Structure 1
Amino acid sequence: MNQKVMDGVYLNILQTQQFKTIRFSVQLVAPATKETLTKRSLLASVLSASSQAYRDQVAIANQLQAMYGAGFNMNAYRQGQLAIFSISMRIVSPQYLRDTIDLQQQAIAFIGELLLKPDVIDQAFNAVTFDREKENLQRYIDSVADDKQTYAALKLRELYFTDQTQQTPNYGDADVLKTITATDLYTYYQQMIANDRIQMTVVGNVDEEKLALDLAQLSLAPRGEMLPGIFYQQAASNAVRELTEEQAVQQGKLNMAYQLPAYFYQKDYYAALVMNALFGGTPLSLLFTNVREKASLAYYASSNIDAFRGAVMVQTGIESHQKERVLAIIEAQRQSIIAGDFTQAMFEQTKLALINQFKSSLDSPGYLGQQQFNQIFVPETELDAGRFTTAILAVSKQAVQEQAAKMQLQAIYFLKGVDTNEA
């Protein structure tokens, strides 16, 4: 249950003895924009590199080791229309320690140190740390172009989405990054700490009264609570946007984007999950077995649902001269689902694969914590294996056929490579 600590600050505790660890996370949430995504990505690197008490990575690593090898992570990402800055920590549950050390208090103090006491000089982040982390992020952004599978996926999203923010990758925008100074970033950091909605989530076996006292040391202040809805909804286009690029690569990349208005744990979500799993979401899928295995038209072929933005993305690696054949056979697989041309055995196996995947996910404190977070914005988010199983098993063949029929092709991105057959 989500508890209101003060205006704009919430605490969600999942009491469980399932794990021998306790996982703490603090997530700061604001509307996503190209600028906020970029600044938060850089902030995650800068804040996790040093603080007032821990001047470098060695000091941070030594403290984590002193806390019985505690795990720590800081990152920034986007879900639908929200930009999320997250700091998380995993410690051994104190009941398994012989030592009388107050590990929970130390962990929360460590989070507070890195999040709230940054390494700042004259109202700017430490220039040495800032310059290094900015350069590292720039190198990472530049390196994406060398990973052609990732590059093609990002180009497809640029092509599909009409909104500039939704076109922007989680790590931000290279042009925005170039303009950010150490002073700019610190000013933005202060605004984020003061104004963002804060969601604290704890997964593990904890004393809730003591936890409240330990969290109070973070000294958070009340803030506003206005946020956009988490889902991004884009109007369908009657025309398919297409883009072809040529590069000196051996393997072509043919990616496609469909609109499918089935959102995270909303109406038709379970049917869409099963449909996507049949289409290209599992090794049992039609794309994998018919496009990759039987027809040998692709080195890889798969699909995935973006359930916060109402889309299905298809990724394939192909010989470039096979483009039209691959487009045709991918559409043929969708038409097979619409026609109900799949066996009952495949239908049931696909459902079982989804159920087993969900059950396996529940063994991860990180997944449980993220689902707890999602529940704040999407109350229907499922955390119970029994209810999830029942919902998946209840999906009818007709419902899956209807979801496939609702898919509307919106964008095709083709990275055309050097083809030995054409050389």
Structure 2
Amino acid sequence: MEAAHEQTFNEPGYSIHVIETEKYKTNTIMIKMRAPLEKETVTMRALLPHVLQSGTEHAPSAAAFRTALDELYGALFFADSAKKGNEHVLTFTMEAANEHYLNGENDLFDRALALLADVLFRPKLKEGLFPEKTVQQEKRSLQQRIRSIYDDKTRYASLKLVEEMYKEDPYALPAGGLLEKVEPIDPSSLYAYYQKALVEDVIDIFVIGDVNAQEAVKKIKEYLPFSDRSAVMTQTETGAVSKEVQVIREMQDINQGKLNIGCRTTITYDDPQFVAMQVSNGILGAFAHSKLFMNVREKESLAYYAASRLDSHKGFVMMLAGIDQKNYDKTVQIMNEQLEEMKKGNISDLEMTQTKALLKNQLQESADTARGMVEVLYHNISSGTNRPIDQWLKDIEAVTKEQAAAAAQTISVDTVYFLSGKEEI
């Protein structure tokens, strides 16, 4: 595939990353604000994007903001928060039509950038603070989102496993915030934190589209006046493996049990073995042909689903399955056996071929959208590494069975979490 040529411009307060490309019919501007995950701030950070997009000085209501987007030929705006290792990332995205495709329009990029700048630097205020009504409304919405996790048992079980496994680690904190921390937030505390984040967060700005890099940088500096700061990387430790596997069982009024097995690996995104770990996890449980799916679900019919996930910014691997509680012991045994098979190098040629093809396809599909491209680039930026997409694709193809097995050998089971119905297991 055609390589994306990223040009980076390091300013005193932030970095600007520009990709000049005619691949997309839109121009995308994305701002990522990164700070350490902390119990005292994670909930305010989860709330902040929603308050900011509820209204600006020039578009003081959600309806007025939607109208402003419509006037930009149906521009799209997104704001959210996510976890990357032990860091919390706020993302603000503006996606607008490329003015080259519109007759008589030559300032669409400027207008889209101005609206994005309004969200970040000129939010709607009342007496110098966020409006009380807006803050209360968004707090209620946040509380509802957090409570809804309890009803999504698959997601709930995954979050509970992480919470139990990383008790003394910021990684235990959910990116969406803590329910008990929502109510104390008021317009004053949220506005004070907003000002602090603007000054202290590590800022990366991405521009992707049919643009001139020098012109784009000039306009970014004009519209987005971030102050000078020192970019401080948060060190994300993978953590020590427990001497004994921790087993946690929780009972609720449910029919389908949720089995989640948390593992640690020393291999993270910036490790030379990362791509081998990616392939290893793919063979273990990332796809429908993987060992967990084929053996736990297809062969033994023990599970409604069976898979594994890898968080490469933390060195966290999770094996998960939805099961009847009577099948708990057998499922745990077979899942652990599949991990052992990986460590022994018992991997077929077909498993290697299919896994590599699907991993490469995933990567190429990500690069097919501007937002996906940014996420790929941001992996490198946030981990301080350089892995261009073209090289990444070649590295996937080059992984051997021995390398995949060696990566699997670094995986150690740490915690087993089982959410079951109230009958005896």
For residues 250-290 of structure 1, give each alpha carbon's deviation from its aligned partner in whole angstroms, at most 9, with x where no partner exists. Answer: 00111010111111142211111111111101111011111
Residue pair 1:320, 1:418 contacting (<8 A) in 2 also? no
Query: What residue number does 1:300 align with?
Result: 305
Match of 1:111 among 116, 132, 144: 116
Query: What residue number does 1:396 align with?
Result: 400
Q: CA deviation at 1:213?
A: 3.3
Residue pair 1:301, 1:315 contacting (<8 A) in 2 also? yes
Q: CA deviation at 1:336?
A: 1.7
Say which is worse superposed, 376-385 or 158-167, in terms of deviation. 376-385
For residues 210-263 of structure 1, give each alpha carbon's deviation from its aligned partner in whole angstroms, at most 9, with x where no partner exists. Answer: 323322333514332142345332122212222111111000111010111111
CA distance in 1, matches of 2:407, 2:377: 27
Query: What residue number does 2:254 align with?
Result: 249
Match of 1:55 among 39, 60, 68: 60
Q: Does the C-alpha gap of structure 1 residues 313 and 381 become closer, same or farther in structure 2, counting only changes over 3 Å?
A: farther
State the one-letter code of the partner of 1:392: I
For residues 112-150 of structure 1, give each alpha carbon's deviation from its aligned partner in whole angstroms, at most 9, with x where no partner exists. Answer: 111111121123211111100001101111111111001
Match of 1:185 among 190, 193, 214: 190
CA distance in 1, matches of 2:368, 2:149: 32
CA distance in 2, matches of 1:246, 1:160: 18
Q: CA deviation at 1:40?
A: 1.0
Report runs of 4+ in structure 1 exceeding 6 Å deviation.
none
Say which is worse superposed, 229-238 or 314-323, in terms of deviation. 229-238
RMSD across aligned positions (CA): 1.7
Match of 2:10 among 1, 4, 13: 4
TM alignment of 1:195-234, pairs within 5 A: 195-229=200-234, 231-234=236-239
For normalisation by structure 1, the TM-score amounts to 0.95
Say which is worse superposed, 125-134 or 212-221, in terms of deviation. 212-221
CA distance in 2, matches of 1:379, 1:135: 37
Match of 1:158 among 155, 160, 163: 163
- Give the SS at the match of 1:2: strand
State the one-letter code of the partner of 2:416: I
Residue pair 1:30, 1:84 contacting (<8 A) in 2 also? yes
TM alignment of 1:272-421, pairs within 5 A: 272-385=277-390, 387-418=391-422
For normalisation by structure 2, the TM-score amounts to 0.94
Match of 1:41 among 29, 41, 46: 46
State the one-letter code of the partner of 1:410: D
- Give the SS at the match of 2:232: coil
- Unaligned 5+ runs, structure 2: 1-6
State the one-letter code of the partner of 1:395: V
CA distance in 2, matches of 1:409, 1:179: 38
For residues 61-120 of structure 1, give each alpha carbon's deviation from its aligned partner in whole angstroms, at most 9, with x where no partner exists. Answer: 111111111111111222112222221111111111112241000011000111111121
Query: What residue number does 2:137 align with?
Result: 132
Q: Does the C-alpha gap of structure 1 residues 400 and 219 become closer, same or farther in structure 2, counting only changes over 3 Å?
A: closer
For residues 291-329 of structure 1, give each alpha carbon's deviation from its aligned partner in whole angstroms, at most 9, with x where no partner exists. Answer: 011100000111010101111011110001111000001
- Is it true that 1:102 corresponds to 2:101 in the alignment? no
Q: Does the C-alpha gap of structure 1 residues 219 and 407 become closer, same or farther in structure 2, counting only changes over 3 Å?
A: closer
Query: What residue number does 1:176 align with?
Result: 181
For residues 29-56 of structure 1, give each alpha carbon's deviation from its aligned partner in whole angstroms, at most 9, with x where no partner exists. Answer: 2222122221111001101111111121
% identity of equivalent residues: 28
